[in-house]
A and B are shown apart, each in its own frame.
Chain A
Amino acid sequence: MRKIALSLLLLISGGSAYAETDGQSFDQIARGRQLAIAGDCAACHTASGGRPYAGGRPLETPFGTLLAPNLTPDRETGIGAWTDDEFVRAVREGVGPRHNLYPAMPYPYYTKMSRADVLAIRDYLATLDPVSNKVVANQLPFPYSIRWNMSVWNALFFTPGEFAAKPEKSQEWNRGAYLVDGPAHCGACHTSKNILGADETGSALKGGVLQGWYAPNIINDSRDGLGSWSVDDIVTYLATGRNQMSAATGPMAEVVVDQTSQMSREDLRAIAIYLKGEGGDSASQTVPVPANDPAMQIGQAVYADQCTACHGLKGDGIPGLVPTLRGNAAVQSPDVTSLRRILTDGARSVATDAAPTGAAMPAFGWKLNGEQMAAVLTYIRNSWGNAAAPVSQP
């Protein structure tokens, strides 16, 4: 609790006084490690099978591939030679010592972090073994390869500025808001993007598409958001990768492993409280597709044959193993990218220490035709009280 209280204090005071503290103190380094986890830094800055934070992981963006740089204290190839100010500026403003960063580095979110928190992360990174690993980050094709473009992008889309707590809200809410909109950068996936890859205004956390997955609405909207989840449901999901209704898969599986399952329960609870306080206004008037619709009838037959063994006759699923389809927000989401993908290719749910099973759904793309797949998705989106737009054949 002390750590949390301290963090909140820093949050509210801006934390500038803390920058002068001993960068080798246990508290500082431990706090920095927790913040690096909350920021999910290792996810991008560690190559598959590589040394932690030594960089080199390819990041696929709609504009091409970037390689995440080396964050270890190596002076030649890492950030060992950077000054504190250079590090803070890179993290919070996307401006490195030599050139602009691309916003694949989520500085539009990290800008909300306090200088003290950013320096705590640096103090933690300074404790890592230096790894000599030269990474040429920019693999983008012309014209995206011209880094100067980012000045224009920043002028258009980047609003620098530290998080400002709302005194009328609870400390937990403020902590949650800071984490979600700052280090945890949830919107990087869960907010839809414009054509230049910046967050759509007015769409914060209402869902976005990336890497062939739909990152769903994570605010309190009733049908396609987290409206039906309690704060505890959200905490359980983030801590273990699953809850009674759902299980993490795809890119979120990685987020759970590297980030949320390692965060403190207090921070996860703060996140849940903040998310539950947003939205909630889209009490959707959607009317379900009628059961006698031809697609619904095909879907019902396919569902009975192929899906009931695990998902149950009424979409109940199996606690701890198979997600519930009835009342499931992801099933009713406006975008069906993930639904199509999971049905076609199958998906494995994340395994964590707390929930190690990691059950998987098999692929059906080889077995069902396009009409059957569209119909069964339409069926699960419009049965047992669910309601969502029918799914068309791709």
Chain B
Amino acid sequence: MTRRLPPTDAVIIGLGWTGSILAQELTAVGLNVVAIERGPWRDTATDFPTTYAQDELRYHIRHDLFLRPAQETMTFRNNANQTALPIRSWGSFMPPNGVGGGGTHWNAETWRFLPSDFRQRSHNIERYGKNFLPEGMTIQDWGVTYEELEPYYDRFEYLCGTSGTAGNLKGEIKKGGNPFEGPRSREYPTPAQKQPYGPTLFAKAAIEMGYQPFPQPSGNLSQAYTNPLGVTLGPCTYCGFCEWFGCGNYSKASPQTTILPILVRRPNFEARTLCEVVKINLDPAGKRATGVTYVDSNGDSWEQPAELVLLCAFQLFNVQMLLWSGIGKPYNPSTNEGVIGRNYSYQVTSSVNAFFDEDKIFNPFISSGSIGMCVDDFNGDNFDHGKLGFIGGGYIGAVQTNGRPLQSTLTPKGTPSWGAGWKQAVKQHYLHAYQTVTHGGCCSYRDAYLDLDPTYTDAFGRKLLRITFDFHENELKMSQHLTDRVAEITRAMGPRQLDKFPRTGHYNSTIYQTTHTCGGVVMGDDPQTSALNRYLQSWDVPNLFVTGASAFPQNAGYNPTNTVAALAFMAADAIVNQYLRSPGPLVQA
């Protein structure tokens, strides 16, 4: 039996980055907000204290902070001719769980997308002609421009205290920053982090080759910072336990270190953890969300009525929740109609491993999730694609995220994969090997989509989400090109041996790449091809907003969090300053 609770103004599904941002913005103007989170409450000192946060076995190998596949998983196949099977152990991406969500375990690489990324379809057709886009590619414009989003990027960066060097200040190109970035209205809140030897050497080589390297913008702070909410973060200690881990030093920007200390003091905010939303409820006409139904850890079922429903779960779970709730038309790849599940995309990464003589000591343990020197000459449309036969790109760089003992074991090609020979090679190369990376975008395609699996169900009897995805020629060509470029710079660092690993072949869901799954509830200005308007408001159910990378029509060549958060700030602004004054659709279709 489901028991009905007293209504609230807004219910938030998932208390990660965007849930926290929206909860803060809405409670600040007096709304009563209830956040419902599937995972546990998590706080710095109690859940990842410095005394044991740096436990690679617990957090990286055994996935302590992540969702358990037995709790919820999805099925996967490369194409529609295959039968999808359930993912029983996380591989290529890591679905977060618990308060803080992905913001707890991210590397804090805090990028803005390029202005042209937001109109990727129009931009590429304008420059290269319509025939340049391959058959089946379904990239589209976002319905929002960089200029419109800039104030919200700024909000998130100042919330986090992001450390970086501006490359474009109000249109003026600044030395030392990224000259390709869109104009930013002011400097980063804190200066860039210090760079260790590897990125320094990479930057030197890049400059000699005519590139313009710059420090990667980082949410692991170079110095103590108190944000506009009054919450203080500490300086990063370069311990290198960022991605997969919570930060025990209060130095990685996360909901815990930037927003939650404020939210927990607000009497009009409530978080219900270890509670799983089963579905979003609709009125009989299906035009209005009436709230959510959730199940607590006791197995008891509750209905939480609300005036506003904010779906702030991880990308895949946003898609799943809408399909389960019957909101929006499910995508049908054979007709290319419908929107929920449409334009699923990912991130195309690759790497180059370089092995140096013993005079070059890289000290990989001096690291942080986002220190590094990057080159943006091969991102987006920063370079001429005319003769290359693909669109898009990514940043390339020397990003020193970690030197952790269990898995930071670079060995040259030809090394035995286990035993004494492997051990000898790990020992020989630990200090003298260096990995450079590419972080490429991913276009969307008609045959890459999400729907409900016909066979497998979860613990509540709901159909699992099915991922149908493979890499396309455009992305593989891009990865080859980017990998060659980063390899050229890396070679100029003077290694004895250099091994290139461009992304090749089929997408493999068992090998970790990134957690940047995107799309499925995309934003846009046409309800035929998007589920959300530019304010992340559902075209079909105007009192429902859906945040997260699920709104990306395709992915750019950057880490997504800054854009995810900026869109959430923009949505919050629209809710507070437009929707609450006049509830209803904010954009007329």
Chain A residues within 8 Å of B, Cβ to Cβ: 306, 309-310, 318-322, 346, 348, 351, 353-364, 366-367
Contact = CB atoms under 8 A, between A and B. Distances in A.
Interface stretch (B129-137, B230-238, B312-320): B230-238
Contacts of B261: 351, 356-358
A362 B224 contact: no
Contacts of A321: 224, 232-234, 250
A147 to B, nearest CB: 40
Contacts of A356: 229-231, 261-262, 265
A290 to B, nearest CB: 29
A351 B231 CA distance: 10
A321 B251 CA distance: 11
Interface stretch (B42-50, B474-482, B516-524): B42-50
Interface string B49-80: 11110000000000000000000000000000
Interface in B211-253: 224, 226, 229-235, 237, 239, 248-250
A356 B250 CA distance: 13
A273 to B, nearest CB: 28
Contact of B51 (A354, A359, A362): A362
Given A309-B237, A356-B262, A357-B261, A320 B224 contact: yes
B572 to A, nearest CB: 20
Contacts of B250: 321, 357, 359
Given A309-B249, A310-B234, A320 B226 contact: yes
13 contacts: A310-B234, A318-B232, A320-B226, A351-B265, A356-B230, A357-B230, A357-B250, A357-B261, A359-B44, A362-B45, A362-B50, A363-B49, A364-B51
Q: Give the contact-size bracket for chain B.
A: 20 to 34
Nearest to A359: B250
Given A306-B50, A318-B224, A355-B230, 14 more contacts: A306-B51, A309-B237, A318-B234, A320-B226, A322-B234, A346-B49, A351-B261, A351-B265, A353-B265, A356-B229, A356-B231, A357-B230, A362-B51, A364-B51
Given A306-B51, A353-B265, A346 B45 contact: yes
B49 A362 contact: yes
A361 B237 CA distance: 16
A309 B231 contact: no
Contacts of B44: 359-360
Nearest to A240: B230
B265 A362 contact: no
Nearest to B223: A318
B535 to A, nearest CB: 29
Interface string B15-52: 00000000000000000000000000000111001111
Contacts of B45: 346, 348, 359-362
B16 to A, nearest CB: 20
Nearest to B51: A362
A337 to B, nearest CB: 21
A35 B46 CA distance: 36
B231 A357 contact: yes
Given A309-B239, A319-B224, A359 B232 contact: yes
Contact of B232 (A348, A353, A357, A364): A357
The DSSP consensus for interface residues of chain B is loop
Q: In the A-B complex, list the 6 residue pairs whose CB atoms are closest, starting with the nearest.
A: A362-B49, A360-B45, A320-B232, A309-B237, A357-B232, A318-B234
Nearest to B43: A360
Most chain A CB inside 10 Å of its own CB: which residue of B229, B232, B233, B250: B232
B219 to A, nearest CB: 16
A30 B564 CA distance: 48
Contact of A367 (B46, B51, B265): B51
A320 B226 CA distance: 8
A357 B43 CA distance: 12
Nearest to B262: A356
B190 to A, nearest CB: 13
Nearest to B235: A318
B8 to A, nearest CB: 21
A314 to B, nearest CB: 15
A364 B233 CA distance: 22
A179 to B, nearest CB: 27
Given A310-B249, A320-B224, A321-B224, A363 B231 contact: no
B230 A354 contact: yes
B122 to A, nearest CB: 44
Most chain B CB inside 10 Å of its own CB: which residue of A320, A321, A354: A321
B235 to A, nearest CB: 7
A306 B49 CA distance: 11
A361 B248 CA distance: 10
A307 to B, nearest CB: 9
A358 B261 CA distance: 7
A122 B50 CA distance: 49
A51 B111 CA distance: 49
B299 to A, nearest CB: 26
Contacts of B224: 318-321
A225 to B, nearest CB: 27
Interface in B178-226: 224, 226
Contacts of B50: 306, 309-310, 362
A145 to B, nearest CB: 39
Contacts of A353: 230, 265
A355 B229 CA distance: 10
Nearest to A368: B51
A354 B235 CA distance: 21
Contacts of A357: 230-232, 250, 261
Nearest to B263: A356
B529 to A, nearest CB: 43
A309 B50 CA distance: 9
Nearest to A360: B45
A47 to B, nearest CB: 19
Interface in B87-135: none
B395 to A, nearest CB: 29
A364 B46 CA distance: 12
B239 to A, nearest CB: 7
A362 B234 CA distance: 15
Contacts of B237: 309
Nearest to A349: B45
Contacts of B234: 310, 318, 321-322, 359
Contacts of B226: 320
A354 B261 CA distance: 12
Contacts of A346: 45, 49
A27 B44 CA distance: 44
Nearest to B44: A360
B367 to A, nearest CB: 14
A346 B43 CA distance: 14
A364 B52 CA distance: 10
Contacts of A322: 234
A348 B235 CA distance: 19
Contacts of B231: 356-357
B260 to A, nearest CB: 10
B492 to A, nearest CB: 35
A320 B49 CA distance: 18
A360 B52 CA distance: 15
A345 to B, nearest CB: 11
Contacts of B262: 356
Nearest to B233: A321
A341 to B, nearest CB: 15
Contacts of B49: 346, 360, 362-363
A356 B232 CA distance: 8
A292 B262 CA distance: 46
A359 B44 CA distance: 8
Nearest to A355: B230
Nearest to A364: B51
A346 B51 CA distance: 11
A323 to B, nearest CB: 12
Contacts of B232: 318, 320-321, 355, 357, 359
A362 B46 CA distance: 7
Contacts of A366: 51
Contacts of A310: 50, 234, 249
